[in-house]
């Protein structure tokens, strides 16, 4: 592997590490979406919630703003004491109040499982690219690039499943939530998809052999790389 190609691989791998860091931050945190419910009357207690793939946290605060005409909680602040509960994704026959009033368990399980696949692909890709830095093992760059691309695709699929889950929560008449917005964990997941997918494709292109310089040459006739 020549120095120019090695430099390109190291720069691409540095960006990939940023994408992996953002992916881990999105998976382990619980600020994917923030929810608030409808107020029946003013001067009442508003309940807000934020959740991720594994946990939901709720907080209650007092509303005295009579200018709020849409009977919503208005600007939501999530600082202070919170009541957090973990989802029982893989416990058969068990359910929690969180699932009963916020989201379907199937959506939450799907988003979490797909995110686990994304983490797995990223770990395998990192092992492959670290081994490729050894002599005569640069053939591992191609599978590493594919693993990173798959990790990005799994991440955006998990994002879409979570987005559909939030949308169904808001549209459902069986839940108390009427307003929502996506928070920084959601942004980390989307950004990690962009970095992993683009850099995975870039790494694949870098790992390909040099194409012939002239149209009448074949790959076998091209000058070997030094």
Tell whether 200 is covered by a domain.
yes
Tell whether 17 is covered by a domain.
yes
Tell whether 150 is covered by a domain.
yes
Contact 35, 175 (CB under 8 A): no
Q: How far apart, in whole angstroms, are the C-alpha atoms of residue 54 and residue 111?
A: 10
Tell whether 142 is covered by a domain.
yes
State the residue range of the domain holding 27.
3-31+101-207
Q: How far apart, in whole angstroms, are the C-alpha atoms of residue 129 and residue 144?
A: 6
Q: How far apart, in whole angstroms, are the C-alpha atoms of residue 103 and residue 105?
A: 6
pLDDT in tens, the chain (226 residues): 677 888 888 999 999 999 999 999 999 988 888 887 665 555 556 777 778 888 877 777 666 555 444 455 655 554 555 677 777 654 544 444 444 444 456 777 888 899 999 999 999 999 999 998 876 778 889 999 999 999 999 999 999 998 888 887 777 666 666 677 888 999 999 999 999 999 999 999 988 876 655 665 555 554 455 4
CATH number (domain holding residue 126): 1.20.140.150
Contact 33, 180 (CB under 8 A): yes
Evaluate if pTM is beyond 0.85. no
* Helix axes of 105-132 and 141-171: crossing angle, nearest 10 degrees: 160
Tell whether 23 is covered by a domain.
yes
Tell whether 187 is covered by a domain.
yes
Give how many domains the chain has, as a whole number: 1
Tell whether 188 is covered by a domain.
yes
Tell whether 73 is covered by a domain.
no
């Amino acid at each position: 592997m020549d120095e120019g190609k090695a430099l390109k691989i190291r720069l691409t791998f540095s960006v990939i590490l940023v994408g992996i860091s953002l992916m881990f931050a999105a998976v382990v945190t619980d600020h994917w979406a923030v929810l608030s419910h409808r107020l029946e009357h003013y001067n009442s207690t508003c309940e807000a919630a934020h959740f991720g793939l594994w946990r939901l946290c709720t907080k209650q605060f007092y509303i005295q703003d009579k200018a709020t005409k849409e009977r919503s909680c208005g600007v939501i602040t999530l600082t202070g004491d919170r009541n957090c509960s973990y989802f029982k994704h893989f416990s058969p026959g068990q359910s929690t109040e969180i699932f009963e009033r916020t989201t379907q368990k199937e959506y939450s399980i799907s988003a979490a499982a797909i995110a686990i696949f994304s983490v797995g692909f990223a770990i395998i890709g990192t092992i492959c690219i670290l081994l490729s830095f050894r002599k005569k093992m640069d053939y591992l760059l191609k599978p590493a690039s594919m693993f990173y691309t798959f990790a990005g695709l799994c991440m955006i699929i998990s994002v879409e499943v979570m987005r559909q889950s939030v949308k169904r929560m808001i549209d459902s008449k069986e839940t108390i939530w009427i307003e929502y917005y996506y928070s920084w964990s959601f942004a980390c997941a989307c950004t990690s998809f962009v970095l992993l997918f683009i850099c995975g494709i870039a790494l694949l292109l870098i790992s390909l052999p040099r194409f012939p310089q002239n149209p009448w040459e074949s790959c076998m006739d091209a000058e070997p790389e030094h």
